[in-house]
Amino acid sequence: MCEQPKAADLLEWYDRHARAMPWRVGPADRQAGVLPDPYRVWLSEIMLQQTTVAAVKDYFLRFTARWPTVQDLAAAKDADVMGEWAGLGYYARARNLLKCARLVAQDHQGQFPRHYDDLLKLPGIGPYTAGAVSAIAFDQPSTVVDGNVERVMARVYDVHTPLPVAKPELTQLAAELTPSKRPGDYAQAVMDLGATICTPKNPACGICPWRTPCQGRANGTATELPKKTPKKPKPTRFGTVYIARRVDGAILLERRPDSGLLGGMLGWPGSDWQEGSVPDHSAPIRAEWKILPTEARHTFTHFHLRLTVKTALVPMDRAPKVGAFLTLDEFRPSDLPTVMRKAFDLASAKSGN
């Protein structure tokens, strides 16, 4: 019978090799009595959903500098938060971020609940985030399973059932390993192990603290795991955006509806996005429109997008059918989501601005 992995071995490794994160209280500080800030833990976990640590760090630092407490964030204007979030993607997270902050500020006196079940009741918090916040912020023995943890569990226990079917099994295995002592450090330790040692390609098995009990390593299958169900090819959708600049330099923009893709974000007026061909769509303002020779291209989770970009210069007295003009002082290109910024950059390069 194979030796079972021990949480103590992983924690000993974590005490020496924990990654430094702007939202993390390191193991030495934590054992010295420094407590994590639940607001910072929650904010980082929302930002890290489907996003890399490298991409999140600067956003986290800007957010916490501008809104250092959950009450500060709850009092923020929607447009300011959406603008700071621009480029991070998955914009429903930002809308739920505000909803959650306001509920915590109003109904919980600015204090996040400690327990998993209570955290699950908050907007934008699912099983993973509830587990992460309860474990990391409050040292509750909650099971935390992200992609890194799934990979570690699949290899340690040599699980060949493909994801996502294997998720319940891997979650149960992770739960059985979660200790009652230092569960917050343990949750971060497993994620660090997956991110730095048990990596998707070329895992460093020789220096892994769980190399001896790892069944995947013993059976020579570790690099094949976890197995995944093949994904369907992404379809391609097409659309048109209109970038109108007024003679005084103001830019025509509209804020997208709260629901749907890029909900609540600033963007260029334009058509729906559909497969097959560029849909017909009337321009948002009467003008002599020019088509740029290059498309704006972007890939979302479920599809590729190709946008035809049309530009025009309009007089001061021309009124738009949709949207509103923002002056140069009001408009920040950084407030645009990535796909809209790509279209803007193409238009700016063409005009020489």
Active site residue 45: yes
**Residue 131 token pair:** 């587990």
Residue of 45, 84, 150, 295 with catalytic role? 45
How many other β-carbons are positioned within 10 Å of the β-carbon of residue 286?
A: 14
- DSSP label at 62? H
* Side chain identity, residue 273: W
Residues 145 and 143: their CA atoms lie apart, in Å, by 6
Residue 314's beta-bridge partner residues? Answer: 246
CA dist 259 → 98, 121, 124 (Å) = 14, 20, 14
Give the number of other CB atoms < 10 A from CB of residue 303. Answer: 14
Using the structure block, give the residue that is written with the tokens 């330099």: 249
Asked if 171 and 145 touch (Cβ cutoff 8 Å), the reply is yes
CB 53 within 8 A of CB 21: yes
Catalytic residues: 45
